[in-house]
Amino acid sequence: MSKKNIIPIFVPHNGCPNDCVFCNQTKITGQGKEINLGEIKDTIDEYLSYFKDKSDVELAFYGGSFTAIDFNLQNSLLDIAREYKNKGLIKEIRMSTRPDAIDENILLNLKKYLVDTIELGVQSLDSGVLKLSNRGHNVDCVYTSSNLIKEYGFNLGLQQMIGLPGDNIEKSIFTAEEFIKLNPHCVRIYPTLVIKDTKLEDDYYKGLYDSLSIDDAVNNIKEVLKLYIKNDINVIRVGLQPTEEINYDGSIVSGPFHPAFRQLVESEIIMDVIKKYFNNKKIDTEIIIKSSGKNISNIAGQKGRNKSELQKKLGQNIKLKQGEFDNFTLEFLYNDIDEKINIKNYF
| Site residues, ligand SF4 (CB under 6 A) | 13, 16, 18-20, 23, 25, 64-65, 98, 121
* CA separation for the pair 61, 187 (Å, rounded): 16
Burial of 109 (0-12, 13-18, 19+ CB in 10 A): middle
Query: With 0-12 CB in 10 A as exposed, 13-18 as middle and 19+ as buried, what is 204?
Result: middle
Taking the complex as a whole, how short is the minimal distance between the CB of residue 148 and ligand SF4, in angstroms? 18
Q: Which is nearer to ligand SF4, 250 or 323 (CB)?
A: 250
* Element of type H or E holding 334: strand 329-334
CB of 125 to ligand SF4, least distance (A): 16
- Rounded to whole angstroms, the Cα distance separating 346 from 2 reads 31
Q: What is the residue-wise DSSP string for 130-149?
A: HHHTT--S-HHHHHHHHHHH
CB 285 within 8 A of CB 250: no
What is the distance, to the nearest Å, from the Cα of residue 42 to the centroid of all Cα atoms in its chain? 27
Least separation in angstroms between residue 247's CB and ligand SF4 is: 20
The smaller minimum CB distance to ligand SF4, of residues 128 and 304, is found at 128
Q: How far is the CB of 98 from ligand SF4 (least distance, A)?
A: 5
Closer Cβ to ligand SF4, 63 or 256, answer by number = 63
Nearest to 136 by CA among 157, 122, 119: 122
Give me the least distance between CB of 39 and ligand SF4, in Å please.
21
Of the pair 122, 271, the CB lying nearest ligand SF4 is at 122
**CB nearer to ligand SF4: pick between 121 and 184:** 121
For residues 240 and 252, the answer to whether their CB atoms sit within 8 Å is no
Nearer residue to ligand SF4 within complex by CB, 204 or 346 = 204
Q: CB of residue 14 vs ligand SF4: minimum separation in angstroms?
A: 9
